[in-house]
Structure 1
Amino acid sequence: MMLPGIALDEWRERGQTFAFQGHAIRYWTAGEGAPLLLIHGFPTASWDWHYLWAPLATRYRLIACDMLGFGDSAKPRDHEYRLIEQADIQQALLRHLGIGEPVHVLAHDYGDSVAQELLARHGEGRFVMASGVFLNGGLFPETHHPVLAQKLLLSPLGALMGRLFGRRQLAVNFAKIFGPATQPSATELDAFWSLLETNDGAAVIHRLIRYMPERREQRERWVTAMQAIQVPLRVIDGAFDPISGAHMVARYRELIADADTVLLDNIGHYPQVEAPQAVLKHYLEFRARVAKREAVIDL
């Protein structure tokens, strides 16, 4: 059974804006309690969380933004988009909202890399992460299998590919990475495309894709942080995903001691869209375990 979700028009009406170095960043908040930062993936936006938004807001204070170059946020044409800067934006948003306490993080895809950077900053004393949950993403460059469209966007043909990229190409590529029984509806595809094309987003998509070499540059620092830092972590992963599915989880189990992982059979790259109820169940189980651990520490 699917959760009800939020229509894109309604979602957009709830958004607010703050400025980061002169760029307008759209963000959303809801609920009360411990802060939970939700970080979206490529090439979509924070609306990806719309199925989980209401049930999570009954328990936590939710914070999410469309990162620079994504969704309804600014998409400067000549900008050098960096995952490091996207982490700066997350911290700037938290400061804007006056949030100073430890932050729980739930991330997906591109957002996983931003979360890894925040985890590394936690180890460096520049951020305080209470817990982290990763949905399908390239946590390890050696297990990231980009689709052809991603490879072309990263190539010298990237700018041309971006100009030619349209809703049809988005639908074709999403059909490959969603599960066989959980394909996006026409309405969902329209919404995903609307968020991508807003502010002429197709013109910068080839710049956003440069996160792939940046992941390789930061690999040792980020993987070392996951191995060494005592922050509760879990992976909830759609096993069917050809980009970062079961093969990525196998690598996670090799590299991370006492790895906490959940595989969702027949679910693809977007588990929060394809199987939101399962993601919610496993996320709340994780948070209950974290709370129990914190209670023991406080004794």
Structure 2
Amino acid sequence: MSGLPGIALADWRSAGQDLRFNGHAIRYWTAGQGEPLLLIHGFPTASWDWHYLWQPLAQKYRVIACDMLGFGDSAKPRGHAYSLLQQADLQQALLAHLGIGEPVHVLAHDYGDSVAQELIARHQEGRVQLASCVFLNGGLFPETHHPVLVQKLLLSPIGPLIGRLFSRQKLAQNFAKVFGPQTQPSAQELDDFWNLIAAGNGPAVMHRLIRYMPERRVNRDRWVAAMQATALPLRVIDGAVDPISGAHMVARYRELIAKPDTVLLDGIGHYPQTEAPEQVLAHYLEFRQRLEAE
């Protein structure tokens, strides 16, 4: 269990605010003051993933997060062609909505890593201004991404059926495989994760959201080139025993990125921000303190 108190889901939800994006209702959160820090969640969960880190980070920075389109308490339109590029548009729209013109720090996880990679590419193209980016476990390189069976099935012709059959029990089975052996989610956490996935009949769009996997392959070279070329400070904080994007992904990152700044968390799985939030917080703050000292 975390030594950080976290935020109960009901309290988190009551603190959310609303934004319209391309005609869709988006739920977002902001707290604190200082340099803006954009938190980008993963698949299939939502911004509540950050609840242990939210208050500690808000003591130092202006923290900002939204449930992306198709996730959590945001709209989950049926028949929508969900796209990582559109989710990057959403992050920029949220920053514009909040009147943030200064460079933004990013902390991302899983699917959010791909959105962050697109933002880095746009930063290189002069279309958005970032200040730094830290990645938690995610498929930064398609060649090292090992999807679980349910992800492969969602991509298949029976994807719509697999999504409709997805349940709290299936979520528990999948999370048991990707969390660390000593840091498994509690029954209450699983209830809350499931509540966010199930909201707005989310399972009905999971087979559409999963199209991010082939989209990553299409954008791989542009994204990796941007990460190799950028002067932005980057760090990876990674749960080492994650079968999807653990130590093997970090090994690839070290091959491809010059002067790689990587932290491996022993025994931690795919959700370090809920499995080991104190460690993630310490390594994140250390990264930021080093930037401020330069």
Residue 105 of structure 2 is aligned to residue 104 of structure 1: yes
Q: Matched residue of 1:10: which SS?
A: helix
Deviations 1:89-136 (A, max 9, x none): 000000000000000000000000000000000000000110000000
Q: Where in structure 2 are the equivalents of 1:163-202 lying within 5 Å?
A: 163-202=164-203
TM-score (norm 1): 0.98
Contact map agreement 1:2 1:275 (CA 8 A) in 2? no
- Give the Cα–Cα distance (whole angstroms) in 2 for the partners of residues 155 and 100 of structure 1: 41
1:51 matched residue in structure 2: 52
User: How many pairs were matched up?
Assistant: 293
Query: Displacement of 1:2 after TM fit?
Result: 2.2
Structure 2, unmatched stretches of 5+, are none
- Give the Cα–Cα distance (whole angstroms) in 2 for the partners of residues 289 and 225 of structure 1: 23
Deviations 1:43-99 (A, max 9, x none): 000000000000000000000000000000000001000000000000000000000
Q: Where in structure 2 are the equivalents of 1:1-299 lying within 5 Å?
A: 2-293=3-294
- Give the Cα–Cα distance (whole angstroms) in 2 for the partners of residues 265 and 48 of structure 1: 20
- Give the Cα–Cα distance (whole angstroms) in 2 for the partners of residues 91 and 53 of structure 1: 20
- Give the Cα–Cα distance (whole angstroms) in 1 for the partners of residues 177 and 253 of structure 2: 23
Q: Matched residue of 2:63: which SS?
A: strand
Query: Displacement of 1:291 after TM fit?
Result: 1.0
Q: What amino acid is the match of 2:92?
A: Q
- Give the Cα–Cα distance (whole angstroms) in 2 for the partners of residues 19 and 256 of structure 1: 37
Deviations 1:195-217 (A, max 9, x none): 00000000000100000000000
Q: What amino acid is the match of 2:262?
A: T
Deviations 1:238-279 (A, max 9, x none): 000000000000000000000000000000000000000000
Q: What amino acid is the match of 2:120?
A: L
TM-score (norm 2): 0.99
Query: Displacement of 1:292 after TM fit?
Result: 1.4
Q: Matched residue of 2:260: which SS?
A: coil
- Give the Cα–Cα distance (whole angstroms) in 2 for the partners of residues 251 and 2 of structure 1: 32
Structure 1, unmatched stretches of 5+, are 294-299
TM-align CA RMSD: 0.4
Q: Matched residue of 2:44: which SS?
A: coil
